[in-house]
Structure 1
Amino acid sequence: MIVIYGIKENLNPIKAKLSDVIHQSMQATLGMPEDKRIHRFIPMDKSDFYYPGGRSDNYTVIEINMMEGRQIETKKALIKSIFQNIENSLNISPVDIEITIKEQPKHCWGFRGITGDEVKDLKYEVNV
């Protein structure tokens, strides 16, 4: 699951394109299938969204929640791919993007009535 935060006036107009760009990186780097897009957008009032100096109102936070198992180099490649694709497709500078990967053990995920360590039919690899 991916959660994206930003100032609503800037985030709302680009939500669909940003979702496409992020998912393209997930597919290319992690091998995620097209139908595994789980994105949640949190458009915020500017008065509720504090961010570091040197950033513009395009500042966007992307939290990627995933089961543990990916190699460090794979996660770094994903982060760099997202930075590059956002800059190329949406003209938002990497300085205005913050990406955090949050990993949890497979047994801490629940979907389709089972836990992640019990699933046997994923259409993608976790240990990449």
Structure 2
Amino acid sequence: MVVIYGINELLNPIKAQLSEVIQASMTDVLGLPENKRAHRIVPLDRSNFYYPDGRTDAYTVIEINMMQGRTPATKKALIMALFQNIESALGISPTDIEITIKEQPKHCWGFLGMTGDDVKDLTYQVNV
């Protein structure tokens, strides 16, 4: 699952395209199928979104929640692809993008009526 935060008047107009770019990056790097999209867009009022000095109002936070299993090289490749693809498609500088990958053990995930460690028929690999 991906959660994206930004200032509402800047995030709302680009949210569909940003979701497309994020999903394409995750498909390319992680091998996720296109239909495995689970994005939550959280536009915030400017008064509720503080960010570091040196950033612009385009500052965007992307939290990626995933099951453990990807190598550090794969996760780094995903982060770099996101920086490059978002800047190319939307013109948001990597300086204004913050990405956090949060991993949980497979048994901490629940979907399809079971825990992640019990699922045997995923259409993608977790250990990449």
TM-score, normalised relative to structure 1? 1.00
Distance 2:98 2:8 in 1: 16
For residues 18 and 39 of structure 2, the distance between their equivalents in structure 1, rounded to whole angstroms, comes to 10
Quote the residue 1:35 is aligned against: 35
Q: What is the aligned partner in structure 2 of residue 121 from structure 1?
A: 121
TM-score, normalisation: structure 2: 1.00
Counterpart AA for 1:31:
G
Larger helix share, 1 or 2: 2
How far the C-alpha of 1:61 sits from its partner, in A, is 0.2
Partner of 1:99: 99
Distance 1:66 1:16 in 2: 21
Task: Structure 2: give runs of 5+ residues left out of the alignment.
Answer: none
* Counterpart for residue 17 of structure 1: 17
- Matching residue of 1:26: 26
- Would you say how many aligned residue pairs link Structure 1 and Structure 2? 128
Tell me how large the CA RMSD over aligned residues is: 0.3
- Stretches of 4+ moved more than 3 A in 1? none
1: CA distance, partners of 2:75 / 2:47: 32
Deviation at 1:30, TM superposition (A): 0.2
